[in-house]
């Protein structure tokens, strides 16, 4: 079993992972934000955040525009997201296709910061071409043909099992 270290701003994610994995889980505290996406802005953790580094950052985003970049719901959130991104070696962004071509309030950074983008089949072919031309790996998650089993491995209808990462590597 993987016994890594996970840092999150989401109380829900922290609780779930602490119950379901042997990983050490740190919750970055701060002001609670959002009703649909409950988490903290990590404002009470800035000093601690300045001391930490990690291999892979998994981040949900509010909006992505190919020209204007990744944007967040507030200036404070954008600043904290940028700091979190800067502390990691690899950025994996997760967002549904409805967030493409939209803007939120404050700029987190350019699309070129992204290493891997995980989205749904609704993403436009033009966006996929533009992202891949910038060296971003695009992963289309298709809920109809795959699911994550209880052992943490993705099981596809094609009969293959795909690893979901070991903390140091994101599996292909």
Residue pLDDT, tens place only, 31-83: 777 655 567 766 667 777 788 888 899 999 999 999 999 999 888 889 888 98
How far, CA to CA in Å, does 23 sit from each of 18, 58, 94, 111?
7, 16, 22, 30
Long-range contacts of 109-116 (CB under 8 A, 24+ apart): 109/69, 109/70, 109/81, 109/82, 109/85, 110/69, 110/70, 111/64, 111/65, 111/66, 111/69, 111/70, 111/136, 112/136, 113/69, 113/70, 113/85, 114/70, 115/90, 115/91, 116/90, 116/91, 116/92, 116/170
Q: What is the pLDDT of residues 97-125, one digit of tens each?
A: 999 999 999 999 999 999 999 999 999 99
**pTM of the predicted model, to two decimals?**
0.74
Give the list of residues 6+ apart from residue 56 with CB closer than 8 angstroms, or none: 88, 89, 90, 91, 92, 165, 167, 168, 170
Distance of CA 99 to the CA centre of its chain: 14
1-5, 58-62, 113-117, 130-134 — which is least confidently predicted?
1-5
pLDDT at 102: 96
């Amino acid at each position: 079993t993987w016994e890594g270290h996970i840092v999150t701003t989401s109380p829900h994610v922290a609780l779930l992972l602490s119950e379901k994995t042997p990983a050490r889980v740190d919750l970055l505290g701060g002001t609670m934000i959002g009703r649909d996406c409950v988490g903290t802005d990590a404002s009470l953790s800035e000093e601690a955040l300045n001391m930490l580094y990690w291999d892979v950052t998994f981040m949900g985003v509010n909006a992505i525009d190919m020209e204007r970049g990744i944007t967040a719901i507030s200036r404070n959130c954008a600043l904290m997201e940028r700091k979190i991104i800067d502390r990691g070696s690899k950025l994996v962004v997760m967002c549904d296709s409805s967030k493409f071509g939209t803007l939120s309030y404050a700029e987190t950074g350019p699309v070129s910061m992204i290493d891997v983008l995980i989205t749904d089949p609704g993403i436009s072919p033009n966006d996929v071409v533009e992202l891949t031309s910038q060296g971003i790996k695009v992963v289309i998650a298709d809920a109809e043909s795959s699911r994550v089993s209880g052992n943490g491995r993705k099981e596809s209808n094609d009969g293959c099992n795909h690893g979901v990462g070991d903390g140091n590597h994101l599996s292909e």
